[in-house]
Structure 1
Amino acid sequence: MLAGCRRALPAALGLALRGRAAGGPRRRAVSTSWCPVGAAFDAKQQRRSATDRETGLFDVPELSCPEGFQEAQDKALQESEQLVQKACSTPPGPEIVMIFDQLSDALCRVADLADFVKIAHPDFAFREAAEEACRNIGTMVEKLNTDVELCQSLRRLLADEVVMNSLDPETRRVAELFMFDFEISGIHLDEEKRKKAVNLNVRILDLCNEFLTGTHLPNKIDKRVLPEHIRSNFTTEGNYLEVAGLHADCPNDLVREAAYKIFLYPNAEQLSCLEELLASRNSLAQLVGYDTFAHRALQGTMAKNPETVTQFLEKLSDQLSERTQKDFEMMTKMKVKLNPQNSKLMPWDHPYYSGVLRAERYNIDPGLYCPFFSLGACMEGLNSLFSQLLGISLYAEQTQRGEVWSEDVRKLAVVHENEGLLGYIYCDFFQRPDKPHQDCHFTVRGGRLREDGEYQLPVVVLMLSLPHSTRNAPTLLSPGMMENLFHEMGHAMHSMLGRTRYQHVTGTRCPTDFAEVPSILMEYFANDYRVVNQFARHYKTGQPLPKNMVSRLCESKKVCAAADMQLQVFYAALDQIYHGKHPLRKSTTEILKETQEKVYGLPHVPNTAWQLRFSHLVGYGAKYYSYLMSRAVASMVWKQCFAHNPFDRAMGERYRREMLAHGGGKEPILMVQGMLQKSPSVEDFVDALVSDLDQDFETFITDS
């Protein structure tokens, strides 16, 4: 998943996250303090001396204490006021775009950093201060989004044909993106309606935060309601049992059923919050001139509009239908085999029985694989792949006191063989109390060409939830954890190599349905034996992971894969309906029931409301389809460009030149066309996804 460039702040002035440096900045010298990446992750972090230099978070001096967020915020707001005055007094020309980008950067440098700190810092005071900074910067952005005089300075530039024709394509696109941000915020409205748009945006921000909090809260139930023999599976608090998740991997059918019904039991406040959020989004979209929120959200994406998304999902669902039904029949047979008294397949069965089928057919016990995937070995594997494909090396760098929020965080320098230091990745990989469990990527500082000719280096955070090393073994990853690591590193490389001139479009600051392509493409590399064989070694014996184990693992993922994909189609379809025509004539739960039974196929469970746990409705509102469309593009790129040789340097350079280098500074479909040398259709997207389901090996065992 991509965070940081998915937060709910509005789009204008770069705060909703969106340049190749002209002439290129000077090459940065290599530091002698860097050390090999693998060893840094398999060894304990060196303790810093009390005499070491002390700094603030991410080496930002003000952030050595929570109160520093107020200082950083005040500086950003003061700088933004000066830049607004400068923009309003500057005649039409490329300098206007630079000033707008400086304004975007001034606000994002605080907002992006605070967006990460508010969920990840272990100190509540830091989290609270970061939350307040996010709120204040967001409020300022809403005001700037509807600042008529500021917009006029940009409008004068866009209206001057002579000047516009003299701009390079990237500068022209960034200018148009800034204007688009104004327009979707209602700049064209009268003063009263502009104020209403600002108020709606602020309310939407608050509702998003409220809904997100509610998606993670556990539910409680009187423990006497449940049979005594399953109570031990849940946390006990006095006379109550606390259910904090679905227990999807539990072999006991009754435990999974109980967890599903309790965890997804409707909460009136959360339901009200969601329905107000959807209604507010729709009101905002219609206020600024769109039919629905989905039309507003999808402008500028690969899909371009909700009609294309619906066509894509319907065609994919049609292609999956027969395969999905066979998958459900296989799961039902397995359930009957293991539990003859209760044979009906239910939603809480899908993840469990598909896993049982995979394990039975291919013997893919994660415990057999973990010894070959030490974290250090996996990091060396990534280092080797990036070196061969892109000429990039990763080096561990010692952090200063106060620079990181946990002693477990590692800092990586990303270095190109010719261009030098490209940026930094902070790796927050290990479990700790109260840390979010979702794997994600955050942009903390975007890259851009500064006024002094130097390039502002990008800074990102990758967050995983890996186990700690023990006295007897380093951190060992399951195959799924290894794949997630590769996925998040794909986002990080996009951030490092999207070296655009403008911060507004740097790295992953591009349309959502393109932003996931580089990360999903990395999953294909993670599942290729030629790549895995370069690093997968038993941490004790040094024995390489046998090829047949990798083959079994890859083939196992295709067992019930159609049903898994159908579930994603259901999520995406539901997201489209929620953000489509309003007012909704039925409750969100009624819509869920209808859509689930029509698109997914397994029955809705009475007195459950799964949508109230669907956190992606916040960050991916109307854009959840992006995972499927991005996977289709990644599949096409893999098969056409890398399947014959995953280490092809010429193809790696083409990948960087055509897809990674532009960030959001080029239309996404043009980047895809440049890489594939053709313009893919909706049918091409569907065919790419369905072809991935086909079995490739004779080792597949048919159902008997």
Structure 2
Amino acid sequence: MLKGKYFMNLPALSCISRRNIKVSTWSPLATAFNTPPIQSMNIMRNETGLFNIPELRSFEGFYLLRENAIHRTDALIEEAISHTRKRKMVEIFDELSDVLCKVADMAEFIRLAHPKSRYSQAAEDACISISGIVEKLNTHKPLFKALKNVVDNKDIFPTTAVDDHVAKLFLFDFEQSGIHLEENLRQKVVRLNDNILQLGQRFMAGAVSPRSILKSVLPEDIRKYFSVDGENVLVSGLYTDSQSALAREAAYRLYLYPDSHQEQLLSDLLRCRYELARTCGFETYAHRALKSSTAETPGNVIAFLDELSEGLRSRADKDFEIMYQHKVKDSGKNLPLAAWDTPYFTAKIKKQWLQTSPSEFTPYFSLGGCMEGLNNLMQALYGITLQNTELEPGECWSNDIYKLAVTHESEGLLGYIYCDLFERNGKPNQDCHFTIQGGKRLPNGEYQIPIVVVMLNLNHPRWSGPTLLTPGMVDNLFHEMGHAMHSMLARTEYQHVTGTRCSTDFAEVPSVLMEYFAGDPRVLRSFARHFQTQEQMPDDMLQRLCVSKNIFSASETQLQVFYSALDQFYHRKPLAEQSTTDVLKVVQQKYYSLPYVENTAWQLRFSHLVGYGAKYYSYLISRAIASWIWQTYFKDDPFSRSAGEKYRRECLSHGGGVPSRQLVANFLKRDVTPENLSQSLITEIDTNNDKIKEMSRDFDIN
């Protein structure tokens, strides 16, 4: 039988020097990813099913998976509420979670990624069915009482600190639906959640809709920069890359002009969130959102933002002064720097610093070369190998998927990463990581291996040459692989807390940390080779690329502080008579160096307020922790095996099984205070600015 495949199982790279990694030819892994996937004929038409799930040999299998999940769920509920149960309550709940997640997580991915409508529709039906099961569980009071009794009074079986922590997480998830409240209040929670969902969807739709105005409003010399539809001009964004300052200003003022409908949607959304939090016993929605997070409380978040803001102010002002001087030089006029100028001059000055266009770097970043670099790094840090693995017929949803077996030198197979890296019609245009199956300890002592998908949107390789990545794409690849490796390297007792299933403000730490590796010249030097000649990237190009990533990091960080602070202030108490724009003006004056632009309301275009309500700060804290880890353990040697194993053992292996604040403090041997978090970023910015000054002696960036 001839099977659909890309390549047969390929040998791993041989042991290499971690300090001076050089190879003269592409490895089998690099060759595989630099070559268009090969699909052989499957004469016997025997298929294994999606993700090797036999039921999914056809789309109808989703209905069978759903029915199996329902039956198993019913049995687990009976076990949980039984007076004669024979195992820990947390073990029953985790199996219940595992049964539902195995169907829901996989179906959610297939719903988004499968090119055939029959599969995507069946997957969507499965998602809806599992959601219905979860809703029923959220109203199952005997089940809730059984869990709450264990959390409040201890289990009848001996438990560990991890058991107790995970049980509390399950209880909090239960209470999100208001099951612990009187029936009238529980129904109120249900209504509020429904309102919040609908308001959020409507707000997000409005946030991306173009602004239509009469073309007579714009002078003819500016009108040409925008799309014209009859008598109207459509402004679909901020046009930050336009060389015309007038076009950038017009786009900013028009696209961000206040919209009363959007304002009402946002105000109603914030009011419903506050009412939901108060009904569930929280002081504010921010308190509810931050429960079990690294930050723990809104007060800690604001203290961190205030501390960081104070340290950033003078440094960001220096960035803006450089941009201002460039604006004066470009325009010949002494005009102040404005909000519509900063993205343009940031990009322009970075390009000047590079002394070349980003496209000139791409020949040195073939997809296969980048995968080889990741493999080298994983071998050095953790003793693991990424091995391109044969795919069974019917195992994948598209014919351009790669499957990596992640294998440890002594532990064996750790898990599988499916790489869905190339663009196709209907595929979501976003880089992301999906968990298909979470890892967990099984009753027989074996480990349920994790299965994940890494999704990017790269150009397909051609027979004339491989897929080439821009420096930004390399960063994204390393970022998403950071999520995947978090899933692979975790070895948790429970799938409910495996890998990335941890607090939002810690989940991004491993992926952001991988960006530090992607920005280190020692790491890039190990794989940045021309796809044709295999010559290493010239050292001056390499150094300029790495340093350029940190130009204007103070002003860019200050903008993130501003966004994060606004998100926190919105999710405090209701705004009363103030509009969301009134709040924005006050917050911007405190946290951002550039002034508010009158008659604009960019927050009405800020869709992250829906998905990251009260959690937008998470990226900043994750970056602060990642920077702290980098400076402490990897700055001197990014290939350090001892540091890598310690990081895996004390951080990655726990997933969300240990409270993230405790986990970080234990690993870094210091308390996770606003001062320490802020200082890690300020130290990083100062160090990078020193490097920029050193390299700018022969290049005038000022």
| TM-score relative to the length of structure 1 | 0.88
Q: Aligned letter for 1:685?
A: L
Kindly state the Cα deviation for residue 324 of structure 1 after the two structures are TM-superposed.
1.3
User: Mapping of 1:440-479 within 5 angstroms?
Assistant: 440-479=432-471
Which residue, out of 317, 321, 328, partners 1:325?
317
Task: Give, in whole Å, the separation in 2 of the partners of 1:141 and 1:508.
Answer: 21
Task: Give, in whole Å, the separation in 1 of the partners of 2:371 and 2:591.
Answer: 40
User: Mapping of 1:404-415 within 5 angstroms?
Assistant: 404-415=396-407
SS in 2 for 1:509: coil
Q: Aligned letter for 2:432?
A: C
Kindly state the Cα deviation for residue 222 of structure 1 after the two structures are TM-superposed.
5.3
Which residue, out of 163, 166, 173, partners 1:171?
163
Q: Assess if the C-alpha contact under 8 Å between 1:139 and 1:202 holds in 2.
A: no
SS in 1 for 2:664: helix
Q: Aligned letter for 2:695?
A: T
Could you tell me which runs of 5 or more consecutive residues in structure 1 were left unpaired when the two chains were aligned: 1-30
Kindly state the Cα deviation for residue 493 of structure 1 after the two structures are TM-superposed.
0.5
Further displaced range: 154-163 or 106-115: 154-163
Task: Give, in whole Å, the separation in 2 of the partners of 1:413 and 1:391.
Answer: 14
Which residue, out of 656, 662, 686, partners 1:664?
656
Kindly state the Cα deviation for residue 161 of structure 1 after the two structures are TM-superposed.
4.3
1:11 equivalent in structure 2: none
Further displaced range: 188-197 or 592-601: 592-601
1:73 to 1:152, Cα distance in 2 relative to 1, 3 A: same
Which residue, out of 626, 629, 632, partners 2:621?
629
Q: Does 1:648 align with 2:657?
A: no
Q: Aligned letter for 2:380?
A: Q
2:71 equivalent in structure 1: 78
Q: Does 1:353 align with 2:345?
A: yes
Q: Aligned letter for 2:587?
A: T
2:191 equivalent in structure 1: 199
Kindly state the Cα deviation for residue 239 of structure 1 after the two structures are TM-superposed.
6.0
Kindly state the Cα deviation for residue 232 of structure 1 after the two structures are TM-superposed.
6.6
2:428 equivalent in structure 1: 436
SS in 2 for 1:464: strand
Q: Does 1:334 align with 2:326?
A: yes
Q: Aligned letter for 2:566?
A: L
Q: Assess if the C-alpha contact under 8 Å between 2:381 and 2:640 holds in 1.
A: yes
1:392 to 1:207, Cα distance in 2 relative to 1, 3 A: farther
Q: Aligned letter for 2:127?
A: C
2:496 equivalent in structure 1: 504
Q: Aligned letter for 2:66?
A: Q
State how many pairs are aligned: 673
SS in 2 for 1:388: helix
Q: Aligned letter for 1:140?
A: I
User: Mapping of 1:216-235 within 5 angstroms?
Assistant: 216-221=208-213
1:149 equivalent in structure 2: 142
Q: Assess if the C-alpha contact under 8 Å between 2:350 and 2:551 holds in 1.
A: yes
2:3 equivalent in structure 1: none
Kindly state the Cα deviation for residue 606 of structure 1 after the two structures are TM-superposed.
4.6
Q: Assess if the C-alpha contact under 8 Å between 2:349 and 2:701 holds in 1.
A: no
Q: Aligned letter for 1:33?
A: N
Q: Does 1:700 align with 2:691?
A: no
1:134 equivalent in structure 2: 127
1:648 to 1:213, Cα distance in 2 relative to 1, 3 A: same
1:99-142 deviation per Cα after TM superposition (whole angstroms, max 9, x unaligned): 11111112212222233344444455655554454344334323
SS in 2 for 1:276: helix
Task: Give, in whole Å, the separation in 2 of the partners of 1:239 and 1:132.
Answer: 44
Task: Give, in whole Å, the separation in 2 of the partners of 1:98 and 1:567.
Answer: 44
User: Mapping of 1:595-606 within 5 angstroms?
Assistant: 595-606=587-598
Q: Does 1:392 align with 2:392?
A: no
Q: Assess if the C-alpha contact under 8 Å between 1:425 and 1:492 holds in 2.
A: yes
Q: Assess if the C-alpha contact under 8 Å between 1:555 and 1:700 holds in 2.
A: no
SS in 1 for 2:178: coil
User: Mapping of 1:14-93 within 5 angstroms?
Assistant: 33-34=9-10, 36-51=28-43, 52-63=45-56, 68-91=61-84
1:238 to 1:448, Cα distance in 2 relative to 1, 3 A: farther
Q: Assess if the C-alpha contact under 8 Å between 2:440 and 2:494 holds in 1.
A: yes
1:235-285 deviation per Cα after TM superposition (whole angstroms, max 9, x unaligned): 666666555443323333344334434544555554444333322222211
1:6 equivalent in structure 2: none
1:524 equivalent in structure 2: 516
Taking every aligned residue pair, what percent have the same amino acid on both sides? Answer: 49
Q: Does 1:297 align with 2:273?
A: no
Task: Give, in whole Å, the separation in 1 of the partners of 2:220 and 2:395.
Answer: 49
2:367 equivalent in structure 1: 375
Between structure 1 and structure 2, the one with the greater Rg is 2
Task: Give, in whole Å, the separation in 2 of the partners of 1:210 and 1:390.
Answer: 45
Task: Give, in whole Å, the separation in 1 of the partners of 2:589 and 2:462.
Answer: 46
1:513 equivalent in structure 2: 505
Kindly state the Cα deviation for residue 530 of structure 1 after the two structures are TM-superposed.
1.5
1:674 to 1:205, Cα distance in 2 relative to 1, 3 A: same
Task: Give, in whole Å, the separation in 1 of the partners of 2:143 and 2:370.
Answer: 49
Further displaced range: 485-494 or 449-458: 449-458
Q: Assess if the C-alpha contact under 8 Å between 2:274 and 2:285 holds in 1.
A: yes
Which residue, out of 517, 539, 544, partners 1:547?
539
Kindly state the Cα deviation for residue 700 of structure 1 after the two structures are TM-superposed.
2.9
Further displaced range: 406-415 or 488-497: 406-415
Task: Give, in whole Å, the separation in 2 of the partners of 1:137 and 1:632.
Answer: 37
Task: Give, in whole Å, the separation in 1 of the partners of 2:35 and 2:576.
Answer: 55
1:669 to 1:115, Cα distance in 2 relative to 1, 3 A: same
Kindly state the Cα deviation for residue 547 of structure 1 after the two structures are TM-superposed.
2.7
Kindly state the Cα deviation for residue 450 of structure 1 after the two structures are TM-superposed.
2.9
1:237 to 1:407, Cα distance in 2 relative to 1, 3 A: farther
Kindly state the Cα deviation for residue 308 of structure 1 after the two structures are TM-superposed.
0.5
Kindly state the Cα deviation for residue 317 of structure 1 after the two structures are TM-superposed.
0.7
Kindly state the Cα deviation for residue 352 of structure 1 after the two structures are TM-superposed.
1.4
Kindly state the Cα deviation for residue 527 of structure 1 after the two structures are TM-superposed.
1.4
Task: Give, in whole Å, the separation in 2 of the partners of 1:677 and 1:567.
Answer: 30
Task: Give, in whole Å, the separation in 1 of the partners of 2:663 and 2:214.
Answer: 55
Kindly state the Cα deviation for residue 68 of structure 1 after the two structures are TM-superposed.
4.7
| TM-score relative to the length of structure 2 | 0.89
Further displaced range: 682-691 or 397-406: 397-406
Q: Assess if the C-alpha contact under 8 Å between 2:36 and 2:460 holds in 1.
A: no
Kindly state the Cα deviation for residue 664 of structure 1 after the two structures are TM-superposed.
0.4
Q: Aligned letter for 1:699?
A: M
Task: Give, in whole Å, the separation in 2 of the partners of 1:48 and 1:329.
Answer: 60
Further displaced range: 387-396 or 205-214: 205-214
Further displaced range: 510-519 or 437-446: 437-446
Q: Assess if the C-alpha contact under 8 Å between 1:90 and 1:153 holds in 2.
A: no
**Could you say what the CA RMSD is over the residues aligned between the two structures, in angstroms?**
2.8
Q: Aligned letter for 2:285?
A: F
1:505-549 deviation per Cα after TM superposition (whole angstroms, max 9, x unaligned): 011001111111111111111111221111010112211112332
Further displaced range: 511-520 or 427-436: 427-436
1:660 to 1:347, Cα distance in 2 relative to 1, 3 A: same
1:533 to 1:274, Cα distance in 2 relative to 1, 3 A: same
1:18 equivalent in structure 2: none
Further displaced range: 451-460 or 229-238: 229-238
Q: Does 1:425 align with 2:417?
A: yes
Task: Give, in whole Å, the separation in 2 of the partners of 1:169 and 1:358.
Answer: 49
Which residue, out of 555, 570, 577, partners 2:562?
570
SS in 1 for 2:428: coil
1:16 equivalent in structure 2: none
